[in-house]
Amino acid sequence: MRLLVDLYSAGMSEDCLFCRIVSGELPTDLLAESERSIAFRDINPQAPVHVLVVPRRHVPNVGALAAASSDDLADVFALVSQVARSEGVAENHRVVFNTGAGAGQTIFHAHAHVLGGADFSEHGLGL
Protein backbone atom coordinates (compact mmCIF):
# COMPACT_ATOMS: atom_id res chain seq x y z
CA MET A 1 0.00 0.00 0.00
CA ARG A 2 2.84 2.37 0.89
CA LEU A 3 4.37 1.69 -2.53
CA LEU A 4 1.10 2.58 -4.23
CA VAL A 5 0.76 5.83 -2.32
CA ASP A 6 4.32 6.79 -3.28
CA LEU A 7 3.70 5.86 -6.89
CA TYR A 8 0.67 8.07 -7.27
CA SER A 9 1.83 10.95 -5.10
CA ALA A 10 4.83 11.28 -7.39
CA GLY A 11 2.54 12.80 -10.03
CA MET A 12 0.42 14.79 -7.62
CA SER A 13 -0.13 18.47 -8.22
CA GLU A 14 -0.27 20.30 -4.88
CA ASP A 15 -2.66 23.02 -6.00
CA CYS A 16 -5.06 20.60 -7.71
CA LEU A 17 -8.37 20.14 -5.89
CA PHE A 18 -8.89 16.56 -7.09
CA CYS A 19 -5.32 15.57 -6.15
CA ARG A 20 -6.10 16.84 -2.66
CA ILE A 21 -9.28 14.73 -2.58
CA VAL A 22 -7.44 11.68 -3.95
CA SER A 23 -4.74 12.01 -1.28
CA GLY A 24 -7.35 12.29 1.48
CA GLU A 25 -6.27 15.82 2.41
CA LEU A 26 -9.79 17.10 1.62
CA PRO A 27 -12.85 15.13 2.75
CA THR A 28 -15.36 13.88 0.20
CA ASP A 29 -18.45 11.74 -0.19
CA LEU A 30 -16.55 8.65 -1.37
CA LEU A 31 -18.73 6.07 -3.13
CA ALA A 32 -16.18 3.64 -4.54
CA GLU A 33 -12.50 3.30 -5.13
CA SER A 34 -9.99 1.11 -6.86
CA GLU A 35 -6.23 0.94 -7.04
CA ARG A 36 -6.25 3.53 -9.84
CA SER A 37 -9.32 5.74 -9.40
CA ILE A 38 -11.96 7.01 -6.98
CA ALA A 39 -15.65 7.94 -7.25
CA PHE A 40 -17.43 10.61 -5.21
CA ARG A 41 -20.53 12.80 -5.48
CA ASP A 42 -20.34 16.12 -7.30
CA ILE A 43 -20.70 19.01 -4.84
CA ASN A 44 -23.08 20.81 -7.25
CA PRO A 45 -25.19 18.04 -8.79
CA GLN A 46 -26.73 18.62 -12.22
CA ALA A 47 -28.93 15.49 -12.01
CA PRO A 48 -30.35 13.32 -9.19
CA VAL A 49 -27.29 11.09 -9.63
CA HIS A 50 -24.11 13.05 -10.35
CA VAL A 51 -20.91 11.22 -9.54
CA LEU A 52 -17.35 12.08 -10.51
CA VAL A 53 -14.90 9.31 -11.32
CA VAL A 54 -11.34 10.55 -11.00
CA PRO A 55 -8.07 8.76 -11.80
CA ARG A 56 -5.55 8.95 -8.97
CA ARG A 57 -2.95 10.00 -11.53
CA HIS A 58 -2.82 13.76 -12.15
CA VAL A 59 -3.34 14.47 -15.83
CA PRO A 60 -5.27 17.47 -17.18
CA ASN A 61 -7.92 15.71 -19.25
CA VAL A 62 -9.16 12.38 -20.59
CA GLY A 63 -6.99 12.53 -23.71
CA ALA A 64 -3.90 12.95 -21.58
CA LEU A 65 -5.08 10.04 -19.43
CA ALA A 66 -5.43 7.80 -22.49
CA ALA A 67 -1.93 8.80 -23.60
CA ALA A 68 -0.45 8.23 -20.13
CA SER A 69 -2.03 4.88 -19.27
CA SER A 70 -4.64 2.77 -21.03
CA ASP A 71 -4.92 0.80 -17.76
CA ASP A 72 -5.89 3.95 -15.88
CA LEU A 73 -8.37 4.86 -18.61
CA ALA A 74 -9.96 1.41 -18.51
CA ASP A 75 -10.12 1.56 -14.72
CA VAL A 76 -12.05 4.85 -14.83
CA PHE A 77 -14.64 3.20 -17.10
CA ALA A 78 -14.83 0.13 -14.87
CA LEU A 79 -15.55 2.38 -11.87
CA VAL A 80 -18.11 4.37 -13.91
CA SER A 81 -19.92 1.12 -14.60
CA GLN A 82 -19.70 -0.04 -10.98
CA VAL A 83 -21.08 3.27 -9.66
CA ALA A 84 -23.85 3.37 -12.28
CA ARG A 85 -24.96 -0.05 -10.99
CA SER A 86 -24.70 0.85 -7.30
CA GLU A 87 -26.60 4.13 -7.88
CA GLY A 88 -29.36 2.27 -9.74
CA VAL A 89 -28.81 3.99 -13.09
CA ALA A 90 -26.99 1.22 -14.98
CA GLU A 91 -29.61 1.20 -17.73
CA ASN A 92 -29.95 5.00 -18.13
CA HIS A 93 -27.02 7.31 -17.59
CA ARG A 94 -24.64 9.67 -19.33
CA VAL A 95 -20.86 9.77 -19.08
CA VAL A 96 -19.32 13.18 -19.84
CA PHE A 97 -15.69 14.27 -20.01
CA ASN A 98 -15.24 18.00 -20.51
CA THR A 99 -11.96 18.97 -22.15
CA GLY A 100 -10.98 22.65 -22.11
CA ALA A 101 -12.54 25.72 -20.55
CA GLY A 102 -14.56 26.28 -23.72
CA ALA A 103 -16.27 22.94 -23.13
CA GLY A 104 -16.99 23.80 -19.50
CA GLN A 105 -13.99 22.18 -17.83
CA THR A 106 -13.18 23.95 -14.56
CA ILE A 107 -10.94 21.39 -12.85
CA PHE A 108 -7.94 20.36 -14.89
CA HIS A 109 -7.55 16.88 -13.45
CA ALA A 110 -9.22 14.30 -15.71
CA HIS A 111 -12.65 13.15 -14.52
CA ALA A 112 -15.80 11.49 -15.78
CA HIS A 113 -19.20 12.88 -14.86
CA VAL A 114 -21.76 10.09 -14.38
CA LEU A 115 -25.23 11.58 -14.69
CA GLY A 116 -28.47 9.74 -14.11
CA GLY A 117 -31.89 9.71 -12.53
CA ALA A 118 -33.32 12.21 -15.02
CA ASP A 119 -34.82 11.84 -18.48
CA PHE A 120 -32.09 13.17 -20.76
CA SER A 121 -34.13 12.40 -23.83
CA GLU A 122 -36.18 15.54 -23.10
CA HIS A 123 -33.65 17.75 -21.33
CA GLY A 124 -30.04 18.40 -22.15
CA LEU A 125 -28.06 18.67 -25.34
CA GLY A 126 -30.22 16.43 -27.48
CA LEU A 127 -27.25 14.17 -28.13
45 neighbors 114 (Cβ within 8 angstroms): no
Rounded CA gap, 52 and 79, in Å? 10
Q: How far is the CB of 105 from Zn ion (least distance, A)?
A: 13
List the one residue from 13, 69, 82, 98 that touches ligand 5GP (CB under 6 A).
98
Eight-class DSSP state of 35 = S
Interaction between residue 107 and ligand 5GP (CB under 6 A): yes
Rounded CA gap, 120 and 127, in Å? 9
- Contact pattern from residue 33 through residue 72 relative to ligand 5GP, giving x for each residue in contact according to CB under 6 A and a dash for the rest: -------xxxxx-------x--------------------
